[in-house]
Each structure stands twice: as structure tokens, then as C-alpha cells.
Amino acid sequence: MANLQLRFLHRTNENGTVKSTCRQCSIDIASVRDERQLASLEHTHVCDPVRVYQLQNGVKHTFQPRPVELKD
């Protein structure tokens, strides 16, 4: 498995929390107050292969949520 320090980017937010972003799929993994908490969260992250393909091939993806139908 790739070194977690190389695979994820850590940035400090304005509120003092630390945000972890996957460098491969650009997804924000978590924001936590204690940076030591990120390792376990990063360890469980699995990139979406469709998203990785889209990013690597310049495919523009726009998220369009489906309407939620409530069943009685």
C-alpha cells in the first residue's frame, strides 16, 4: 500500500481543524481537530475507480442528484 503521507494532502482549515484530501481521487476524507485521527480514516479510504478514470482522462463530471421519492 502507498505511504499514507504521500497519498493524502493535509491542510489546516480556518477553524483549526485539519482536512485530509486523497491526491488520487481528490475526495476530502475527513476534517478533524487532532491530526493523529486521520491515519485510521485514510487507511480505510478506497478511491472510486470511475472518479479516478474521469480525473485521469479529463472527463468532466457534474453531480446531478436524483429526486428522492418517499414511500408511505
Beta bridge partners of residue 8, listed in sequence order:
22
Can you give the residue ranges of every domain in the chain? 4-56
> Which tens digits make up the pLDDT trace of 4-28?
668 999 999 999 999 999 999 999 9
- The secondary structure of the chain as a DSSP string is ---HHHHEEEEE-TTS-EEEEETTT--EEEEESSGGGHHHHHHT----HHHHHHHHTT------PPPPPPP-
Whether the full predicted model's pTM is greater than 0.75, yes or no, is no
60 band by pLDDT with thresholds 50, 70 and 90: confident
Average pLDDT rounded to a whole number, residues 41-53: 92
